[in-house]
Structure 1
Amino acid sequence: MYRKIFNLAILIAAVSLYITSCTQPAKQAEQTEEVKMSGNPVFEGWYADPEGIIFDDEYWIFPTYSAPYEEQIFMDAFSSPDLVNWTKHERIIDTSRVKWAEKAMWAPAVVENKGKYFLFFGANDIQSNEESGGIGVAVADQPEGPYTDHLGEPLIPAFHNGAQPIDQFVFKDQDGKHYLIYGGWGHCNIAQLNEDYTGFIPFEDGTTFKEITPDNYVEGPFMFIKDGKYYFMWSEGGWTGPDYSVAYAIADSPFGPFERVGKVLQQDAEIATGAGHHSIIHHPDTDEWYIVYHRRPLDRTDANHRITCIDRMYFDEDGMIKPIQITHEGVAQNPL
């Protein structure tokens, strides 16, 4: 009787040891598995002014091809399921499909509307109303294009309120209205787009372009809503220099008034210079926030040697944006 009990105890112990030996390596592997990081830059090549956005189950980045103006005659796009693995989509638009654009195709902003994708861009870097160019819009059936000219002419071909027609961003408000926020030369305008993006809807006072310029604004506007507040961000300094940076303000309306809070993104002498012209991606499920921006490697002095990077953006308990740390590591893999 005692021998049977003893033998049964040995058998139970042996089975338990076997199960432990089978599962322990898996647990150890699970504990030591490395987190995959995007690295910065997130993809190879000279790219700037990145527009980051989510379409369906993919992250997208639409940047400017960073080169001399005469070579900026096309745009590429990049897509990723997880922020780590990126696919390049070449020449989603070029000057052969936008006859009035000759050079300096800048700062794409892409939005989906009624099953179509609309790409807003600046072209020709006009210096006065006597020159041809400005902000255009193109359309495609899918995010990767190919995009074709929507109007056959610029949507905004002239200066309003002193704002050079560049650096456009499409903002969708909580009531479904779409606004174009844009401007260089230290001035920023907001205008309400009509339903098919062929023009604008005047405001109640009869004006079409309202200036919302905050202190120190230079270019590169971006806006988002968090907890009912409107966060307005922009670039300061000169894009060719190390002092390029990003600042922000908060208001109760997309029209402001926007009082500058301070800088949140700037160079790090140990990592890179000229960190600016950004966009924001908000993961809808995990409530993680990412800033997508360009910067210049420390060993580069050419103005067009800009790379696209991603880092995390955090808020404090009062909803203020914490200073952003630029990194070489980038962000962790995060599938949609």
Structure 2
Amino acid sequence: MDLKGNDRRSGNPIFSGWYADPEPRIFEGRYWVYPTYSAAYDDQTFFDAFYSDDLVRWTKVERILEMKDISWARRAMWAPSPIERNGRYYYYFAANDIQSNNELGGIGVAVADRPEGPFRDALGKPLIDQFYHGAQPIDPHVFIDDDGQAYLYYGGWKHCNVVKLNEDMVSIAPFSDGEVYKEITPENFVEGPCMIKRKGKYYFMWAEGGWGGPDYSVGYAVSDSPLGPFVREAKILQQDPEVATGAGHHGVIQIPGEDEWYIVYHRRPLTETAANHREVCIDRMEFDPEGRIRPVKLTFEGVPPRILPAREKSDS
């Protein structure tokens, strides 16, 4: 069945190619997805992006950031997280997969004037280049709270930290208690943090299990503060033996002004066993009356078209 033609749904995957670790955003009245190019580390030397007006038809923008434009990057760039602030776009990413404080690498930040880039290194060095509280400096996720404070969540090796970003988005500020790198690791955390806010509550999500295996999945916690404490509630995304394995490392889209949510994640087709053979998919994410996230159902069909309210008005 032509899922993008006959019944006008997105289909899963939403675009072709091996991609992972998607970060979805809404920029300038359009949906964007920023993924990792899923390949062997030495081949992960660039980032592509994809945009859509309706969640169904996606257009690729190639090489919005390349390793050659990051002076300190040597090996493997992955897990991007962009955000807009003051008319500029800040793009956080991991590079070099450092294994100790004696190696060069960690979390970098690039900047552009447009959602599609081209992005350029903002600092000429990593923003975070050391291990704090045991957290490998990988998998950044940027979140701006309603009061305008920006936070960067990150971490691998089963530890998660959060830092406060200054207004310039390329430097770090201490918390009120003087701490700079605050550990917030919940139970079962492995990597891939993600934060959303709904009805005054902070929903913190993360990847569990091994990224290269079938049991990769997503758990979550809820708190009254962006700093936690985060007590694990449940698993909300995992493999389905009839659909796909290794479902994890996700991002979330909220339709502006609506209690309508979509989860964008990667998974591995049942026909594939290679660790890097991952695809980007989208499905609905729903809440029960008590505010708990319902387990996400993996589908082949994906989601129906959803035009953003601002674009609907501009087209009318």
TM-score (norm 2): 0.95
CA distance in 1, matches of 2:253, 2:169: 23
CA distance in 2, matches of 1:45, 1:146: 21
Residue equivalent to 1:114: 86
Query: Does the CA contact (< 8 Å) of 1:247 and 1:260 recur in 2?
Result: yes
Is 1:140 matched with 2:112? yes
Deviates more, 1:147-156 or 1:196-205: 196-205
Residue equivalent to 2:306: 334
Residue equivalent to 2:235: 263
- Per the TM alignment, residue 218 of structure 1 is displaced from its structure 2 partner at its CA by 0.3
1:231 to 189, 192, 203: 203
- Per the TM alignment, residue 234 of structure 1 is displaced from its structure 2 partner at its CA by 0.3
Return 5+ residue gaps in structure 2 as ranges.
Answer: 309-316
Is 1:213 matched with 2:181? no
Residue equivalent to 1:91: 63
- Per the TM alignment, residue 90 of structure 1 is displaced from its structure 2 partner at its CA by 0.1
| Within-5 A mapping of 1:148-159 | 148-159=120-131
CA distance in 1, matches of 2:86, 2:42: 34
Deviations 1:230-256 (A, max 9, x none): 100000000000000000000100111
Residue equivalent to 2:151: 179
CA distance in 2, matches of 1:137, 1:196: 12
RMSD of aligned C-alpha atoms? Answer: 1.1
- Per the TM alignment, residue 286 of structure 1 is displaced from its structure 2 partner at its CA by 4.3
CA distance in 2, matches of 1:93, 1:117: 13
SS of match in other structure, 1:96:
helix
| Within-5 A mapping of 1:283-322 | 283-322=255-294
Residue equivalent to 1:47: 19
SS of match in other structure, 2:68:
coil
AA matched with 1:265: L
Normalized per residue, the structure richer in helix is 1
- Per the TM alignment, residue 284 of structure 1 is displaced from its structure 2 partner at its CA by 1.3
Deviates more, 1:190-199 or 1:256-265: 190-199
- Per the TM alignment, residue 34 of structure 1 is displaced from its structure 2 partner at its CA by 6.3
SS of match in other structure, 2:42:
helix
CA distance in 2, matches of 1:283, 1:205: 35
CA distance in 1, matches of 2:280, 2:44: 16
CA distance in 2, matches of 1:273, 1:286: 31
- Per the TM alignment, residue 295 of structure 1 is displaced from its structure 2 partner at its CA by 0.2
Structure 1 runs of 4+ aligned residues shifted over 4 Å read none
Return 5+ residue gaps in structure 1 as ranges.
Answer: 1-32
CA distance in 1, matches of 2:170, 2:273: 40
CA distance in 1, matches of 2:289, 2:6: 31
- Per the TM alignment, residue 296 of structure 1 is displaced from its structure 2 partner at its CA by 0.2
CA distance in 1, matches of 2:307, 2:221: 30
CA distance in 1, matches of 2:232, 2:170: 33
Deviations 1:49-75 (A, max 9, x none): 000010121000000000000000100
Deviations 1:177-201 (A, max 9, x none): 0011000000000100011123111
Deviations 1:281-322 (A, max 9, x none): 001144321000000000001100000000001100000001
AA matched with 1:101: A
Residue equivalent to 1:18: none
Query: Does the CA contact (< 8 Å) of 1:35 and 1:333 recur in 2?
Result: no
Is 1:280 matched with 2:252? yes
TM-score (norm 1): 0.89
1:37 to 9, 28, 40: 9
**Length, aligned pairs only:** 304
CA distance in 2, matches of 1:330, 1:103: 34
CA distance in 2, matches of 1:283, 1:189: 28
Greater CA radius of gyration, 1 or 2?
A: 1
CA distance in 1, matches of 2:268, 2:86: 38
CA distance in 1, matches of 2:7, 2:180: 49
